[in-house]
Amino acid sequence: MSPVPSLDGLRVLEFLGLGPGPFAGMLLADLGADVLAVARPGAARPALVENRPVVELDVKSAEGRERALRLADHCDVLIEGFRPGVMERLGLGPDDVRERNPRLVYGRMTGWGQHGPLAPTAGHDINYIAITGALHHAARRGGTPTPTANLLGDFGAGGMYLVTSVLAALYERARTGVGRVLDVAIVDGTTYLTAMLHEYRSRGAWSDVAGTNRLDTGAPYYDVYPCADGGHVAIGALEAPFFAALAELLGLDPAWTGVREDPARWPELRRDIAEALLRRTRDEWADAAAGTDTCLTPVLNLAEAAGHPHLSARQALVPAPAGRPGWRPALGGGRSVRARPAPSLTEALTRWGASETGTEIGTDT
């Protein structure tokens, strides 16, 4: 099978931060880009940097700043995730860098963005998704909203949004010859992800009361249920044919297929589904549903996910690097162009035309 599309030849300088920035750097490296990460001397390494080399530079010193500028002179993309104004105070802001390299795409990854009342303040994933309305609907009716780790804001609305913006800017640069400064904010990305909910709401098809809509556990045929062993299954039988298959599998009264869309009947339907699922264990239901259109799947933990037949067949998870337990997601069903180990720092700096102690940078690639 062919690998995922490759960004071979694209040179990315990443100033290491937390969360969405490293995720974007990991994704670009997995796509084949030549990513070199910059860290403060002695700083602890954040998660998600194992697939690319890290060079330590004291950018607060004149020598470290000059080395960083020389690296930026000959790269295509620079990404950073500091608070607004930090890179400018270091002498590495967009004006400083792009004056020397106008083709550079300068990606700025923050939670609140470069401007706005909250821009100077601290925040995390939970805060960004809270003010956009996204967190509100992660709850059952009358329940407390529950964040899903930091997957929605940091990675979906942050890191993915940054990579998408970078690729769009590179496409534009191919036509204009000039790079762009990108103000990428998690609040913007999260708001964009709520586009369908806003459209449904404008049509009167979405309620602001959490847990009352088809997709936020309001509908009994789109929810998570416990099984006989305490495990859980997820059900997403939205369309009529899929619900009919589910009703048959669970042994529900066939009459439910004609009245399932009546919210007044939802409590009764939920009770019937819940009672049926308590008759078997999670894995028994998963085996019974395998190969059907019931839209019933087991709720697996991270360790169990690696053993699921579908993920295994697609090589979606591969063993973690040597010396680490567990698994690492593999882009493109295990066919990532960066499935090989990350290059050493010496090898990377040689490609970039720099030494670990020198400041000379080679010609542009």
> How many Å separate Cα 194 from the centre of its chain?
15
Q: How far apart, in Å, do the first and last CA atoms of the chain sit?
A: 29
Report the distance separating Cα 363 and Cα 365, nearest Å: 6
Q: Mind giving me the DSSP string for 287-355?
A: HHHTTSSS-EEE---HHHHTT-HHHHHTT-EEEPSTT--SEEE-TTTTT-TT-SPPPPHHHHHHHTT--
Give which of 162, 169, 161 is closest to 193, Cα–Cα. 161
What is the C-alpha separation between 137 and 57, in angstroms, rounded? 43
Place of tokens 């994933």: 125
Contact 59, 68 (CB under 8 A): yes
Beta-carbon neighbour count of residue 151 at 10 Å?
Answer: 12
Distance CA 294, CA 159 (A): 33
| β-bridge pairing 181-185 and 222-226 | unpaired
267 burial via Cβ count (<10 Å: 0-12, 13-18, 19+): exposed
Strand order in the sheet with 11-15: 54-56, 34-39, 11-15, 77-80, 105-110, 181-185
Strands (E) located in the chain: 11-15, 34-39, 54-56, 77-80, 105-110, 181-185, 222-226, 232-236, 296-298, 317-319, 327-329
Active site residues: 124, 154
CB atoms within 10 A of CB 281: 17
Place of tokens 């609907």: 137
